[in-house]
Structure 1
Amino acid sequence: MEKKTPLVLKEKDPPSSNPLCNIQLAQKWPTLSPFELAYTELEQDEMFSYLAPQKIPECINGALSFGKLAATSYQYDGNLGYWMDRVIHTGVRVSFLRRQKDHDGWVRAQYRTKPAVIEIYRASLEQLETFFKQEGFTVKEEDLIALHLFHEWFHHLESTRLGRTDGRLPRVVKKKWGPIEIRERLTRLREIAAHAFTQEVMRLSWYPLWLDHLLLYTDKGWSKEQIRDHFQQVSRRCEEWQPSSTTQSDSTE
């Protein structure tokens, strides 16, 4: 059973703390566009092999747009207390759990529907804090919590107000017998939209999934050159659907 721990924020961040929206990691690390990052997410969907290639741009752009549109009424200004109160008043509880790293990566946070609860893992907050310190940034603890909070809150809004992202976009035909079709949703589209929502609400210059990639590969011991090479491979896979896009994956030291 997960051990729940109370949230204890530091009384005051150091004067040199950087708001997350002001941090320019792209000056130090290889990058990918939101579309390319979203593609890596969609590739992980168990129904991806059934998706017609020509439908990929519609699905990705639709999910990105839906997340951005959902964020138009919200703007995070660094006041976590206000947003905690607002989130709770939408009918969801927020818990902080102590859990170690999973064998296959990090579970940063999750949303459970019954009862409605957002669970944020302290190990993820600590990993993020360590990463930013290594890059020379002291990030406000409240911003790291907000990064998790808004992503999972989007899923709550999907369940209660917005409707699910994957229900608004094309489904794939898994099986077909004559005129009878079995269609399935691409559930990873929900994650794509949640990242877009979080980026807009927090006014980040980077798509949050990019940070997950950097943390994953640095945790595996990859060098910046290895990450750059991998990102360039992703960019090449996306060229078919974004022929006019310009990749930034080689714009680092």
Structure 2
Amino acid sequence: MAKTSVLNARRTAKIPVCPPGMRQAVILITRYQESLAKGGEVTSFMSVKHQPASAKLSSIVLKTAWPVLPAQVLALSELEQDEVYPHLDKREIGTYLNRSLSIGREAARDFNYEGDLEALLNRMIRSGVRIRFQDGSVPREIGWVRAQYRTRPPTITVYRSSVEQLSRFFRTSGHPVRKEDLIALHLIHEWFHHLEVSRLGRTDLRLPKVPTTRLGPFSLKHPLKKTREIAAHAFTQEMMGLSFYPLLLDHLLLHLDQGWSKQRIREQFEKLRARYRSQLPDGG
């Protein structure tokens, strides 16, 4: 019997009985409930109640309600967080940004998400990854983490608190979004990292390493690991057909959490645009 299994979506809280030898994963559609499908690939569930009034995430145009930034500017803000970035030749910044974005977008050509979370979960499970939904979140001192991927065993963990936070954001913005799509947003980003190590090759290792230290005629070189995140966001945007680069949500939520007004956020975004122009005067 195949190791992977078909996900069953039910509108009751009853867990279906698996035929002998079949490994089955379940997502409950009616309400939140902790459960465990023994031997299944989804080890904890996050169920969603379908709301007819909720829109698909792909239909949301954030610029009608919030300040926005293009992918290139957001990608630079990500790359600047890399510890190797200070060693990067300024003339090469645009190349790393463009290639990272292209890697993510090109990888998404083989996939698409049209709102069917069940089909997405099944495809991910068949690719050899386990999926977990977990209460709580990673402590703030560790960083703002919405979901995580680990390689051994291949597992994606999505934090329920992050899904709820995004749900509140869109609801209070006047554009309630299907929770299935918000779950998919988390899953697809982390799934890209699984595909990197199982199929595509890590983005940072597909790009030239950056010289950081010279030892006589030799130089030590290190990869720019943040290029993996840049590519993952691009993959997610392309696969879900979003009008915005997903990292934009992190910027908006961070500043809202800080109590910033839309005007202050807009001013901060203008600073990021100006920094991008200063780092890439030719536009990349």
Normalised TM-score (structure 1): 0.91
How far did residue 135 of structure 1 move?
Answer: 0.4
Identity, in percent, stands at 48
2:252, 2:117 → 1: CA distance?
25
Q: Could you list the runs of 4 or more consecutive aligned residues of structure 1 that deviate by over 4 angstroms after TM superposition? A: 241-245
Q: 1:107 aligns with which of 145, 157, 169?
A: 145
Q: Counterpart in 1 of 2:65?
A: 28
Q: 2:256 aligns with which of 179, 204, 218?
A: 218
How far did residue 225 of structure 1 move?
Answer: 1.2
CA contact (8 A) 1:9 1:141 kept: no
Q: Deviation per CA, 1:48-78, whole angstroms, max 9, x where unpaired?
A: 1111111100000000000000000111010
CA contact (8 A) 1:171 1:184 kept: yes
Q: Deviation per CA, 1:83-133, whole angstroms, max 9, x where unpaired?
A: 101101111000001124632453100100000000000010010011111
Farther-moved stretch of structure 1 (211-220 vs 93-102): 93-102
Normalised TM-score (structure 2): 0.82
Q: Counterpart in 2 of 1:18?
A: 55
Which structure has the greater CA radius of gyration?
Answer: 2
Q: 1:229 aligns with which of 264, 267, 271?
A: 267
2:161, 2:46 → 1: CA distance?
14
1:57 equivalent to 2:90? Answer: no
How far did residue 168 of structure 1 move?
Answer: 1.4
How far did residue 15 of structure 1 move?
Answer: 1.7
Letter in 2 for 1:147: L
What SS class does the counterpart of residue 67 from structure 2 fall into? coil
Relative contact order, higher structure (CA 8 A, sep 6+): 1
Q: What is the number of residues matched between the two proteins?
A: 241
Letter in 1 for 2:80: E
Letter in 2 for 1:143: D
Q: Deviation per CA, 1:180-222, whole angstroms, max 9, x where unpaired?
A: 1110010000000000000000000000000111011101111
Q: Counterpart in 2 of 1:251?
A: none
Q: CA RMSD in A?
A: 1.5
1:31, 1:10 → 2: CA distance?
29
CA contact (8 A) 2:137 2:145 kept: no
Letter in 2 for 1:215: L
Which stretches in structure 1 are left out of the alignment for 5+ residues? Answer: 246-253
Which stretches in structure 2 are left out of the alignment for 5+ residues? Answer: 1-33, 36-43
2:140, 2:149 → 1: CA distance?
21
